[in-house]
């Protein structure tokens, strides 16, 4: 028996049928076990059918495993037989490169086009719905701001803009708007005396734009939450999601059907034959659509309504496109989002979608069609030519690849001076030229990177030096607390502020803004910083006289006298600074500068403004005073004089100076603006100055959003005690 086995093995080996390798032997073992178990299963069915049923799964598994392993073995045999010759390898390569991808691309294109058509139809519908929600949200915000303003003034919280909107826009005649101040409903106009729906109780301080559902059906609802004093103002706009609304969307789209969900069902089998069939194969039945969710549970979607009609076909290729998509629906009472709350189904045709997609091109689309057809034919010719001459290009391709490989080895060693020799004018030659250009660019890039690192190091040093120029420790007066903040838009800033203690009861406040940005503005800022300190603090001979440079003796000129007998005038300081900058800077360089001298004994602020945004005094009662006395910018014209002003700061009154980087940032709603800045400071005037500054900068950051900060942000605050 043993000798006969080895003889059979030798014969099979000679014929090439003996399994070699663990895959082939594993396939034979799996097939042998499957045959043995199948025979055993047939015998057990005669005596123990239950045990035979348990073995059926193992037989199927072993047969499947044997089939997979035999396929692998067959592929390897075929590969050795067919791909042994290089010509066959190239033919197979070109088939896989050229033919199979083309077939797959065509199939994928057809599937993708159908899916794209359906998705585009759903996109058009959902875009119109989202557009409705955005328009409602914009009106919500406008009405909410109007109500907040009225509530803060103590006026009757009526929405006059809502009544006008309903007269102008017919869409708002079917919409409802309600508002609650805390838990108290507000009467916005004659049409909203009794809220038709309850206020949302599930919000966590955020608004809402969604499709909601309650006992009245589906609605488009927008909820806007606005702070109004100690309470929250809740504004809700609602529009029925019904035939009239969807009909406007379906007018130029096709047929749109809306399905809504009932309560989840537990796989019932005694209801009707139609329902049982729908559970096995989800689809339309007499009640709508039944979707299985697994575990015996199902969601029944009943047809709410259908609007529109399927457009007529304009050709044999203008097939019907039917595509469903779930709609996110929010339960208005609980705030829970249903897994399958609603479903929209669109029936349309490619011609309709084509018209939507290329509506702006008009008759030009026909030309585009011919161009695309020409490109398709051209690509087909190129494909055929590539298959014919592919073998002739092999040597050229492999030679070019070898040169590229050798060049990459040089690059890997850090030798960027190596160049590939180019002797032809084809695309491969261009590739070699591109590689040569790349290595040359890398050499330049390394040098530029080193230069950039050097410049970044210098900028970092400049930033550290400039940070030392801003006051780090401020000696406040007993009757005045101060705070300053500056955040550059770039590495260094062109804005300037400073606090100078002149004596035990006098403090100089300086705020400025240099034209331009970057290093040039920072250098000019350092010049002004040094000049202000030199002219203000040091004992200059020309400032010992009652009238200094730029000052005019007489009425309207207020001088501040140091205890040492030195009289300093803000207007005179601005005149000196103007003359110095005019003489030492280019004509296009200038600066704005505000100088103020606060006397803690008299609570009096003497100031002069050289073209800077007028600082503001905000009283404890919200009254606003602007400090506008002064003149034009400094450094632009010579021999300029600057008027002075003086105001008395009352206890609790806040001095606010800022640069245009605070008020001029823009977004889709316009500039941040001075009024918004005043409102924020007024609302937080009892907080510490540091917190007020943080609140303002946070508001500016929120206003800017993800955009880059356009300008330096500087804020100077002072509060009289």
Instruction: Provide the H-helix boundaries in 233-323.
Output: 243-250, 273-280
- Does the pLDDT value for residue 275 go beyond 60? no
pLDDT at 18: 57
Question: pLDDT for 510-531, tens place per residue?
Answer: 898 888 777 777 778 877 877 7
By CB atoms closer than 10 A (0-12, 13-18, 19+), residue 669 is exposed
Calculate what percentage of the chain has a pLDDT beyond 70: 78
Orientation angle between helical segments 674-683 and 689-704, nearest 10 degrees: 140
pLDDT at 696: 92
Question: pLDDT for 466-496, tens place per residue?
Answer: 666 677 767 778 888 999 888 888 777 778 8
CB 169 within 8 A of CB 132: no
Calculate what percentage of the chain has a pLDDT beyond 90: 7
Question: pLDDT for 341-387, tens place per residue?
Answer: 788 899 998 888 877 777 666 566 667 667 878 888 888 888 777 76
Largest CA distance in the chain: 135
DSSP string, 69-99: HHHHHHHHHHHHHHTTSHHHHHHHHHIIIII
Question: At CA 678, angle to CA 677 and CA 680, rounded to 5?
Answer: 65
Q: How far is Cα 597 from Cα 501, in angstroms, rounded to an integer?
A: 10
| Rounded (10°) CA dihedral 489, 490, 492, 495 | -20
pLDDT at 559: 37
Question: pLDDT for 660-688, tens place per residue?
Answer: 888 888 888 888 988 998 999 998 888 99
Q: How far is Cα 295 from Cα 720, in angstroms, rounded to an integer?
A: 72
pLDDT at 695: 92
279, 301, 402, 643 from 282: Cα distances, Å = 6, 11, 58, 84
Q: How far is Cα 687 from Cα 692, in angstroms, rounded to an integer?
A: 6
Helix (H) or strand (E) holding 211: strand 208-214
Shortest CA distance to 498 belongs to which of 518, 519, 477, 526? Answer: 526
Please, which pLDDT band fits residue 392 given cuts at 50, 70 and 90? low
- Segment 267-288 shows an average pLDDT of 39
CB 479 within 8 A of CB 599: no
- Does the pLDDT value for residue 260 go beyond 50? yes
Shortest CA distance to 161 belongs to which of 176, 146, 179? Answer: 146
pLDDT at 553: 34
Q: How far is Cα 298 from Cα 296, in angstroms, rounded to an integer?
A: 7
CB 195 within 8 A of CB 178: yes
CB 426 within 8 A of CB 397: no
pTM for the whole structure: 0.41
Please, which pLDDT band fits residue 571 given cuts at 50, 70 and 90? confident
Shortest CA distance to 341 belongs to which of 291, 287, 305? Answer: 291
Please, which pLDDT band fits residue 295 given cuts at 50, 70 and 90? low
CB 203 within 8 A of CB 226: no
More confident residue, 289 or 8: 289
pLDDT at 640: 87
pLDDT at 594: 92
Question: pLDDT for 442-464, tens place per residue?
Answer: 878 888 887 777 776 766 776 66
| Rounded (10°) CA dihedral 5, 8, 10, 15 | -160
Per-residue tokens: 464 = 């550290």
CATH node for 470-658+710-720 = 3.60.40.10
Q: How far is Cα 670 from Cα 667, in angstroms, rounded to an integer?
A: 5
The HSE-up count of residue 540 (CA atoms within 13 Å, CB side) is 19
Question: What's the distance, Cα to Cα, between the start and end of the chain in Å?
Answer: 115
Question: pLDDT for 593-618, tens place per residue?
Answer: 899 999 888 888 999 999 899 999 99
Q: What's the whole-number average pLDDT of the chain?
A: 78
What's the Rg (C-alpha) of the chain?
A: 41
Question: pLDDT for 497-507, tens place per residue?
Answer: 888 887 778 88
- Segment 525-554 shows an average pLDDT of 55
- Does the pLDDT value for residue 51 go beyond 60? yes
Question: pLDDT for 12-45, tens place per residue?
Answer: 555 555 556 677 778 887 888 888 888 888 887 7
Q: How far is Cα 326 from Cα 364, in angstroms, rounded to an integer?
A: 36
CB 197 within 8 A of CB 234: no
Q: Per-domain residue ranges for the chain?
A: 18-82, 85-354, 358-469, 470-658+710-720
By CB atoms closer than 10 A (0-12, 13-18, 19+), residue 416 is middle
């Amino acid at each position: 028996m043993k000798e006969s086995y080895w003889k059979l093995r030798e014969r099979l080996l000679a014929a090439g049928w003996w399994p070699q390798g663990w895959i082939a032997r594993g396939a034979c073992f799996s097939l042998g076990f499957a045959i043995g178990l199948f025979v055993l299963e047939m015998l057990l069915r005669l005596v123990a059918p239950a045990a035979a049923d348990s073995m059926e799964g193992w037989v199927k598994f072993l047969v499947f495993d044997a089939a997979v392993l035999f396929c692998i073995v067959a592929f390897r045999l075929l590969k050795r037989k067919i791909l042994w010759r290089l010509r066959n390898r190239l033919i197979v390569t070109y088939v896989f490169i050229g033919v199979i991808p083309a077939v797959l691309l065509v199939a994928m294109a057809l599937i993708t086009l159908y899916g794209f058509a359906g998705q585009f139809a759903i996109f058009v519908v959902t875009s119109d719905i989202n557009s409705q929600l955005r328009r409602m949200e914009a009106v919500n915000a406008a009405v909410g701001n109007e109500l907040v303003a009225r509530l803060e003034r103590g006026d009757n919280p009526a929405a006059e803009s809502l009544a006008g909107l309903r007269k102008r826009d017919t869409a708002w005649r079917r919409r409802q708007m309600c508002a609650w101040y805390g838990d108290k409903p507000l009467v916005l106009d004659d049409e909203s005396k009794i809220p038709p729906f309850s206020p949302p109780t599930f919000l966590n301080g955020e608004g809402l734009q969604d499709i909601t559902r309650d006992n009245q059906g589906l609605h488009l609802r927008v909820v806007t939450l606005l702070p109004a004093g100690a309470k929250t103002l809740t504004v809700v706009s609602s529009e029925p999601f019904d035939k009239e609304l969807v009909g406007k969307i379906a007018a130029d789209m096709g047929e749109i059907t809306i399905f809504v969900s009932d309560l989840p069902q537990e796989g019932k089998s005694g209801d009707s034959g139609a329902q049982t069939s729908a559970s096995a194969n989800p689809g339309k039945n007499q009640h709508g659509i039944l979707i299985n969710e697994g575990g015996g549970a199902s969601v029944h979607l009943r047809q709410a309504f259908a609007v529109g009609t399927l457009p007529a076909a304009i050709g044999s290729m203008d097939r019907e496109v039917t595509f469903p998509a779930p709609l996110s629906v929010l339960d208005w009472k609980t705030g829970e989002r249903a897994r399958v709350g609603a479903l929209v189904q669109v029936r349309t045709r490619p011609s309709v979608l084509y018209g939507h997609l290329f509506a702006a091109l008009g008759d030009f689309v026909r030309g585009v069609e011919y161009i695309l057809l020409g490109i398709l034919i051209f690509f087909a010719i190129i494909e055929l030519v590539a298959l014919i001459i592919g073998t002739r290009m092999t040597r050229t391709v492999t030679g070019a690849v070898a040169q590229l490989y050798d060049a990459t080895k040089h690059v890997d060693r850090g030798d960027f001076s190596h160049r590939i020799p180019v002797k032809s004018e084809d695309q491969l030659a261009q590739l070699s030229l591109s590689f040569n250009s790349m290595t040359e660019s890398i050499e330049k890039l390394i040098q530029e990177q080193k230069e950039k690192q050097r410049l970044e190091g210098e900028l970092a040093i400049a930033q550290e030096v400039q940070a030392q120029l801003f006051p780090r420790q401020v000696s406040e007066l007993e009757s005045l607390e101060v705070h300053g903040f500056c955040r550059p838009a770039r590495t260094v800033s062109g804005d300037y502020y400073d606090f100078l203690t002149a004596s035990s009861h006098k403090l100089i406040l300086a705020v400025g803004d240099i034209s331009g940005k970057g290093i040039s503005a920072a250098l000019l800022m350092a010049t002004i910083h040094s000049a202000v300190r030199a002219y203000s603090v040091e004992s200059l001979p020309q400032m010992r006289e009652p009238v200094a440079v730029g000052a005019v003796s007489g009425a309207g000129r207020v001088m501040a006298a140091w205890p040492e007998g030195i009289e300093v005038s803000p207007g005179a300081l601005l005149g000196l600074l103007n003359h110095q900058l005019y003489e030492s800077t280019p004509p296009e360089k200038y600066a704005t500068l505000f100088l103020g001298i606060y006397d803690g004994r008299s609570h009096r602020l003497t100031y002069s403004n050289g073209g800077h945004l007028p600082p503001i005094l905000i009283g404890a009662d919200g009254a606003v005073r602007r400090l506008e006395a002064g003149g034009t910018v400094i450094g632009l014209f010579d021999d300029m004089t600057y008027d002075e002003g003086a105001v008395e700061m009352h206890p609790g009154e806040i001095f606010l100076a800022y640069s245009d980087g605070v008020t001029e940032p823009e977004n889709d709603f316009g500039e941040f603006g001075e009024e918004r800045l005043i409102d924020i400071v007024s609302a937080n005037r009892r907080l510490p100055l540091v917190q007020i500054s943080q609140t303002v900068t946070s508001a500016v950051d929120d206003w800017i959003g993800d955009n880059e900060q356009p300008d330096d942000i500087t804020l100077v605050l002072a509060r009289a005690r």
